[in-house]
Amino acid sequence: MVPEWQAAYMDYTSLKTLLKEIHGLKQKQKKSQPDTPTRALSLYRSFSGLIQRQHLHYHDHHDVEDDEAILVNSVQENGSGKLVTTFLIAAGDGADYEQEFFRMLDNELNKVDEFYRSKVKEVVAEAEALTKQMDAFIAFRIKTENKEVDFDISSCDDSRFMGTTDDNYISQEIQESENPSNQYFSNNIRIASLEVLDHVKLNQALRHSFPAAAKVYCFSINKHTQLNFTRGNLKKIQNQLKKAFVEFYYQLWLLKNYSFLNILAFYKIMKKYDKITSRRASKYYMGTVDDSYFGSSDEVTKLMERVEATFIKYFSNSNRSKGMNKLRPRTKKEKHVTSFSTGFFAGGTAALILALIITIHARDILNKEGSVQYMESMFPLYSLFGFIVLHMVMYGANIYFWRRCRINYTFIFNFKQGTELGFREVLFLSFGLATLALISVISNLDMEMDPKTGDYKALTELLPLNLVLLVMIVLLCPLNILYRSSRYFFLTTLFHCICAPLFKVKFQDFFLADQLTSEVQAFRSLEYYICHYGWGDYKLRQNTCKTNHVFNTFYFIVAVIPYWSRFLQCIRNRFDDKRDPTQGYNGLKYFATILAICSRTAYSLDKGTSWRILAWIFSALAAIYGTYWDIVIDWGLLQRKSKNRWLRDKLLISYKGVYFGAMVLNVLLRFAWLQTVLNLTLSLHIETSTAIVASLEIIRRGIWNFFRVENEHLNNVGKFRAFKSVPLPFNYDEDERK
Q: 297-307, pLDDT tens digit by residue?
A: 999 999 999 99
| 458 within a domain of the structure (yes/no) | yes
Q: Evaluate whether 443 touches 463 at the Cβ level (below 8 Å).
A: yes
Q: What share of the chain is helix, strand, coil (3-state, %, to 5)?
A: 65, 5, 30
pLDDT of residue 559: 93
pLDDT of residue 47: 45
628 pLDDT above the threshold of 70: yes
- DSSP single-letter state for residue 149: B
Average pLDDT, the chain: 81
pLDDT tens-digit profile of 392-418?
999 999 999 999 999 999 999 999 888
Nearest residue to 294 via CA among 125, 127, 76, 83:
83
pLDDT of residue 589: 95
pLDDT tens-digit profile of 150-193?
333 333 333 332 233 333 333 343 333 344 334 444 444 454 55
Vertex 143, ends 137 and 144: CA angle to 5°? 85
Q: Evaluate whether 84 touches 72 at the Cβ level (below 8 Å).
A: yes
End-to-end Cα separation, the chain, in angstroms: 35
pLDDT of residue 732: 81
pLDDT tens-digit profile of 427-483?
999 999 999 999 999 988 876 656 566 567 777 889 999 999 999 999 999 998 899
| 497 within a domain of the structure (yes/no) | yes
Task: Say whether 279 sits in a helix, a strand or coil.
Answer: coil
pLDDT tens-digit profile of 26-47?
787 777 666 555 444 444 444 4
pLDDT tens-digit profile of 473-526?
999 999 988 999 999 999 999 999 999 999 999 999 999 999 999 999 999 999
Q: C-alpha distances in angstroms, 514 versus 413, 576, 708?
A: 14, 20, 11
Q: What percent of the chain shows pLDDT beyond 90?
A: 48
Angstrom distance (rounded) from CA 516 to CA 509:
11
731 pLDDT above the threshold of 60: yes
| 598 within a domain of the structure (yes/no) | yes
Q: Evaluate whether 399 touches 423 at the Cβ level (below 8 Å).
A: yes
Count, in order, helices (H) and strands (E) of the chain: 27, 6
b/e code 612-644 from CB counts within 10 Å (16+ = b): bebbbebbeebbebbbebbbebbbbbbeeeeee
Q: Evaluate whether 441 touches 389 at the Cβ level (below 8 Å).
A: no
pLDDT tens-digit profile of 251-295?
999 999 999 999 999 999 999 998 988 888 888 889 889 988 999
| 669 within a domain of the structure (yes/no) | yes
pLDDT tens-digit profile of 214-239?
333 333 333 444 577 888 888 888 99
| 513 within a domain of the structure (yes/no) | yes
Angstrom distance (rounded) from CA 509 to CA 503:
9
52 pLDDT above the threshold of 80: no
Angstrom distance (rounded) from CA 651 to CA 639:
13
Angstrom distance (rounded) from CA 54 to CA 51:
10
Residue type, 317: N
Angstrom distance (rounded) from CA 401 to CA 411:
16
Residues in the chain: 738
Task: Give me the domain span that covers residue 401.
Answer: 336-718
pLDDT of residue 166: 34
Number of domains in the chain: 1
Crossing angle of helices 686-718 and 520-534, rounded to 10°: 140
| 239 within a domain of the structure (yes/no) | no
What's the maximum distance between 2 C-alpha atoms anywhere in the chain?
Answer: 116
Angstrom distance (rounded) from CA 296 to CA 300:
11
Task: Say whether 200 sits in a helix, a strand or coil.
Answer: strand
Task: Say whether 23 sits in a helix, a strand or coil.
Answer: helix
pLDDT of residue 39: 47
Element (H, E) at 348: helix 336-363
Task: Say whether 75 sits in a helix, a strand or coil.
Answer: strand
| 49 within a domain of the structure (yes/no) | no
Q: Evaluate whether 1 touches 721 at the Cβ level (below 8 Å).
A: no
b/e code 413-446 from CB counts within 10 Å (16+ = b): bebebeebbbbbbbbbbbbbbbbbbbbbbeebee
Angstrom distance (rounded) from CA 167 to CA 150:
10
Angstrom distance (rounded) from CA 379 to CA 437:
12
pLDDT of residue 193: 59
Q: Which tops the pLDDT comparison, 220 or 76?
A: 76
Angstrom distance (rounded) from CA 718 to CA 393:
30
- DSSP single-letter state for residue 547: G
Contact residues for 89 (Cβ-Cβ < 8 A; gap 6+): 69, 95, 98
668 pLDDT above the threshold of 50: yes
pLDDT tens-digit profile of 678-722?
766 667 788 888 899 999 999 999 999 999 999 999 988 877 787
pLDDT band at 725 (very low <50, low <70, confident <90, very high): confident
| 93 within a domain of the structure (yes/no) | no
